[in-house]
Amino acid sequence: MLDLALSILFSSLIFVVFKLYDTYKIQTLYAIIINYVVASAVGMFFYEKKIELFEIPAKPWFLGTLVLGILFIVVFNLMAATSQRSGVSVASVATKMSLVIPVIFGLLVYNEKLGALKSVGILLALAAVYFASVKEKDIPLKKNIIILPTLVFIGSGIIDTSIKYLEETLVPKEEFPLFSAVVFGSAATTGLIFITIKSLKKRTVPNITTILGGITLGILNYFSIFYLLRALQHENLNSASVFTINNVAIVMFSTLLGVVLFKERISIKNWVGITLAIISILLVAFF
């Protein structure tokens, strides 16, 4: 449970850093790419064995890391576009409700069992994510822009499901740091290619604040994934429990951090969501 708690902590702090990006006018795209470079370097640093770069492509999980790296960049940009066109709450709900995909995958592929109370807990989790994310002045979701949140939902779910599948079938526990490092390295490479193409039209250079913001985000990002992988190894929690607790607790804790650190106002619907989140976590974790 400690691993899951640490994953939730680092993931929640990522949202705090994103909030600070806006405060300090950090160049978000550059910071995201720097973040992936740093996250990859941190993974390499914590890998205890000698790293043979030429042997990495021969790893059974290597191809999966390339796909995940591309997905990380693509889904992030889809989230940004959804936030701009449909509202932040829509993007948040689409991202966190994607926990349904890995849960269903675990039930179908690994024959994981869910009791009645756990099933109720997962349903409450979906409701909790919605109520905790919704704002008083939401932008209505129009039919002609529903494709963006749908793609965010699918993309986020595929990422979580892929991580679970690779962890379950191809990645030895001692290679978690290396696996995480290569995933982030793939995302960094994808981002660098994207920014190189973009710079052909307009060349910009990241400032020192952006670099520091990217470094901070990279450290948090790495450990959020690293401890999630360790949590998935927990004997008493199946993947449905892990992803449910992880996503719901992140929404709940991030909301509370927003209140404490940024004096954000919480509506009655948000408090309902937080309450449902607590109930769902108790049902999934302890029954």
Residue 253 tokens, joined: 């804790």
pLDDT at residue 236 is higher than 90: no
68-73 mean pLDDT? 89
Q: Which residue has the higher pLDDT, 71 or 52?
A: 71
Q: How confident is the model at residue 88 (pLDDT cuts 50, 70, 90)?
A: low
pLDDT, one tens digit per residue, over 174-196 is: 888 889 889 999 999 998 998 88
Give the pLDDT score at 63: 92
Give the pLDDT score at 4: 92
pLDDT, one tens digit per residue, over 6-31 is: 999 998 888 888 888 878 888 888 98
Its sign, for the CA torsion 258, 263, 264, 267, is positive
pLDDT, one tens digit per residue, over 123-135 is: 888 787 777 766 6
For the ranges 14-18, 203-207, 264-268, which has the lowest average pLDDT?
A: 264-268
Three-state DSSP state, 57: helix
207-215 mean pLDDT? 94
Phi, psi of 48 (to 5 degrees): -75, -30
**Burial track 244-264 (b if 16+ CB lie within 10 A, e otherwise):** bbbbbbbbbbbbebbeeeeee
**What rounded mean pLDDT belongs to the chain?**
82
Give the pLDDT score at 208: 94
pLDDT, one tens digit per residue, over 253-265 is: 887 888 888 887 7
235-264 mean pLDDT? 80
Give the pLDDT score at 279: 86
Give the burial class of 286: count Cβ atoms within 10 A of its Cβ; 0-12 exposed, 13-18 middle, 19 or more buried: exposed
Q: How confident is the model at residue 238 (pLDDT cuts 50, 70, 90)?
A: confident
Length in residues, the chain: 287
26-48 mean pLDDT? 88
pLDDT at residue 82 is higher than 80: no
pLDDT at residue 230 is higher than 70: yes
For the chain, where are the alpha helices, taking DSSP H only?
Answer: 2-23, 28-46, 62-86, 88-96, 100-109, 116-133, 147-169, 176-199, 208-231, 239-262, 268-286
C-alpha to C-alpha distance for 217 and 38, rounded to whole angstroms:
8
Residue 42 tokens, joined: 């941190």
Residue 50 tokens, joined: 């000698």
258: alpha, beta or left? (left if phi > 0; alpha if psi -120 to 50): alpha
Three-state DSSP state, 207: coil
Give the pLDDT score at 140: 55
Q: Decide if 76 contacts 31 (C-beta within 8 A).
A: no
52-68 mean pLDDT? 90
Give the pLDDT score at 198: 79
